Structure 1
Amino acid sequence: MASILRKPPLLFPATARHTATVIFIHGLGDTGHGWADAVENWRRRQRLDEVKFVLPHAPPIAITAYWGMKMPGWYDIAVVDGSAESLRRSEDEAGIVLSEAYVHGLIQHEIDAGIPADRIVLGGFSQGGAMSLFAGLTAMARLAGIVALSSYLPLSLRFAELLPKPQFNEQTPVLMAHGDADQVVNFQLGKTSFEYLEERGYNVSLKVYPGMGHSACLEELNNVEAFLRERLPEVDKKDGKPEL
């Protein structure tokens, strides 16, 4: 397969000593810039000063559901009609696996730069949330946490076959969040993904926002900030250990 030219991620350096990293993946048709305001929102209370934010950009690819038009995407989507079955039908496994490898590379880049895996959170929205779930749970190092907003677990019918052995992230805290009026990524699909993971012993929680469609709200962003603060506490400057 020909290599894909990718723009470098949008970076928000830590405002204090860099001890942790959040990699947040945008949705279909968006870019990393689309989540810049959310990052500023998470940083506004200066409780994540030691965290560097990495917002990658998906390459433009042809999207079947939009008549083959090219747009930023992590994998192809055959149909967008709000139904759970259409999203699961004819999943673009090759595209998902290619993006999985790219996300794993972003994680490894942070590890190589000196940030331990257990000080890295992987998150995303919509198609980016699907990639954060898939790439996070298949990562070859235990992460601090995984965030999946308005999304679902792709390749769920083959997920068990695709997991690494041993599984490094079976007990990694996973925050899923979804509006129950979502007409793009059906809420029931997100709920089914949550139940699938919960039944298999994953450390997953689901927050539901009544009346919210395929978007994010301030309450949700505040809940994500709280999760990030919990999973990435400031490091004590004396002994280099996270503060309790």
Structure 2
Amino acid sequence: MTSNLAKHYLKTCLVAQTQKKHTATVIFLHGSGDTGEGVRAWVRDVLGQDFAFPHIKVIYPTAPERPYTPMMGHLSTVWFDRRKIANNVPENLDSVDSMADALGQLINAEVSQGIPKERIVVGGFSMGGAMAMHLGYRFHHDLAGVFALSSFLNIDSAVYKVLREQQRSTSPPLFMCQGTADPLVMPSWAETTHTEMKQLGVSSEFHVYKGLFHEMCKEELLLLKEWLLKHLPFPQ
């Protein structure tokens, strides 16, 4: 991923902020084929208001278009490529890692504005949640937290390998939600991810919503807001 493409992110991010000066940041990554504007509007529709906090900047980046194998190679706004939407195939780490570099520059831009990493959370919906887990547990393990909504990691994920090899004393806490009626991300994939992360020492919450499809619901977003305020509290 070139630095020019990384700069593209900084120019196209949508930002929700209630005050000019913020003391914490949330980076919210959309699912495959969506945009930052799209997921922000979706969250607003579900909640009936913007996903906003008086002291937290919420950033919604948009992935660049790239050929996407599950769509027969057609262009789509995705964070990385993969063979198919399944948890039993190898990860395409070249595409994951190049995107991690670009999004890492977005994190570093917040740091340069005076926001320490321990006051930054990354997360997302579906593919965005998987990308956030790679960011938070392979590249930026000093973040305040990671959230993954309707998301999963592959069985042989590089995230697990890094956690096993490094055996850190602390890792960012993880917040996961999953619907039982999701036809795209099997509930068992998300549950396996949560279980594996806990076994590897990550403090992980897993919330299941009966009858929820591949979507977000008001209850999980309200719970996510509580979790964010817990890990990114108002400054004393």
Whether the TM-score (by the shorter chain) exceeds 0.5 is: yes
TM-score, length basis structure 2: 0.86
Q: Does the C-alpha gap of structure 1 residues 54 and 154 become closer, same or farther in structure 2, counting only changes over 3 Å?
A: farther
Change in 2 beyond 3 A, CA 1:185/1:4 = farther
How far apart are the structure 1 equivalents of 2:169 and 2:54? 26
Q: Which is further off, 109-118 or 38-47? A: 38-47
Q: How does 1:5-20 map to 2 (within 5 A)?
A: 5=5, 6-7=8-9, 8-15=12-19, 17-20=21-24
- Aligned twin of 1:185: 185
Q: CA contact under 8 A between 2:26 and 2:59: conserved in structure 1? A: yes
Q: SS at the partner of 1:147?
A: strand
User: How many residues are aligned here?
Assistant: 231
| Equivalent position of 1:73 in the other structure | 78
User: Comparing both structures, which one devotes a greater share of its residues to helix?
Assistant: 2
> Contact (CA 8 Å) 1:43, 1:49: kept in 2 or not?
no
Q: Which residue of 2 aligns with 1:240?
A: none
Residue aligning to 2:93: 93
1:1-244 mapped onto 2 (5 Å cutoff): 5=5, 6-7=8-9, 8-15=12-19, 17-37=21-41, 38=43, 44=49, 48-80=53-85, 86-140=86-140, 142-154=142-154, 156-162=156-162, 170-236=170-236
Letter in 2 for 1:17: K
State how far apart, in whole Å, the 2-side matches of 1:24 and 1:165 are.
28
Structure 1 residues 106-155: Cα deviation after superposition (integer angstroms, max 9, x where no partner):
21111111001111111100000001111111234511111110001247
Q: Is the contact made by 2:16 and 2:51 (CA closer than 8 Å) also made in structure 1?
A: no
Residue aligning to 1:241: none
- CA separation of 1:4 and 1:213: change in aligned 2, threshold 3 A: farther
Matched residues in 1 for 2:71 and 2:226: separation? 36
CA shift in 2, pair 1:154/1:191, >3 Å: same
Per the alignment, do residues 60 and 167 of structure 1 end up closer, same or farther by CA in structure 2, a change over 3 Å counting? farther
Q: Alignment partner of 1:213: what SS?
A: coil
Aligned to 1:242: none
Cα distance in 1, alignment partners of residues 74 and 162 from structure 2: 30
* SS of equivalent residue, structure 1 residue 193: helix
RMSD: 2.7
Could you say what secondary structure the match of 1:178 adopts? strand
Where does the alignment leave 5 or more consecutive residues of structure 2 unmatched? none
